[in-house]
Structure 1
Amino acid sequence: MESARVISPAYAQAHGETTETVGAAETHGGGHNFPPFDPATFGSQIFWLIISFGLLYYLMSKVALPRIATILEERNDRIADDLAEAERLKRETDEAIAAYEQALAEARQNAHGIAQEAREAAKAEIDADRSRLEGELDGKLQAAEARIGEIKSRALGDVDAIAKDAAEAIVEVLIGTGVARGEIERAVDAALSERAAR
Structure 2
Amino acid sequence: MAEQNTAQKTNAQPHNTEVGVIDAPPHPKAFPPLDPNHFAPQIIWLAITFALLYALMSRVALPRIGEVIEERRDRIQRDIDAAEALKGETERAIRDYEQSLSDARNKASGIAKETHEKLAAETDAKRKESDAAVNATIAAAEDRIAEMKKKALSNVSEIATDTTSAIVAKLIGETVSASEVKKHL
| Structure-1-length-normalised TM-score | 0.73
| CA-to-aligned-CA distance 1:133-183 (integer Å, 9 cap, x gap) | 121122112211111111111111101110111011001100112123432
Q: 2:19 matched to 1:32? A: no
Residues matched between the structures, number: 160
| 1:97 equivalent in structure 2 | 94
Q: Distance in 1 between matches of 2:28 and 2:124?
A: 131
What percent identity do the matched residue pairs reach? 48
| 1:79 equivalent in structure 2 | 76
| 1:125 equivalent in structure 2 | 122
Residue number among 59, 64, 75 corresponding to 1:62 in the alignment = 59
Query: Bigger relative contact order, structure 1 or 2, given CA contacts below 8 A and separation 6+?
Result: 1
| 1:144 equivalent in structure 2 | 141
Residue number among 161, 170, 174 corresponding to 1:173 in the alignment = 170
| Structure-2-length-normalised TM-score | 0.77
Unaligned runs of 5+ residues in structure 2 are 1-25
The residue type equivalent to 1:35 in the other structure is P
Unaligned runs of 5+ residues in structure 1 are 1-28, 192-198
Cα distance change of structure 1 residues 167 and 31 upon mapping to structure 2, 3 Å threshold: closer
Q: Distance in 2 between matches of 1:67 and 1:180?
A: 148
Q: Distance in 2 between matches of 1:129 and 1:86?
A: 62
Q: Distance in 2 between matches of 1:30 and 1:147?
A: 155
Query: In 1, are the aligned partners of 2:168 and 2:176 still within 8 Å (CA)?
Result: yes
Q: Distance in 1 between matches of 2:178 and 2:46?
A: 170
The residue type equivalent to 2:46 in the other structure is L
Q: 2:111 matched to 1:114? A: yes
**What is the alpha-carbon root mean square deviation over aligned residues?**
2.0
- Deviation at residue 56 of structure 1 after TM alignment: 0.8
SS of the aligned residue for 1:177 comes to coil
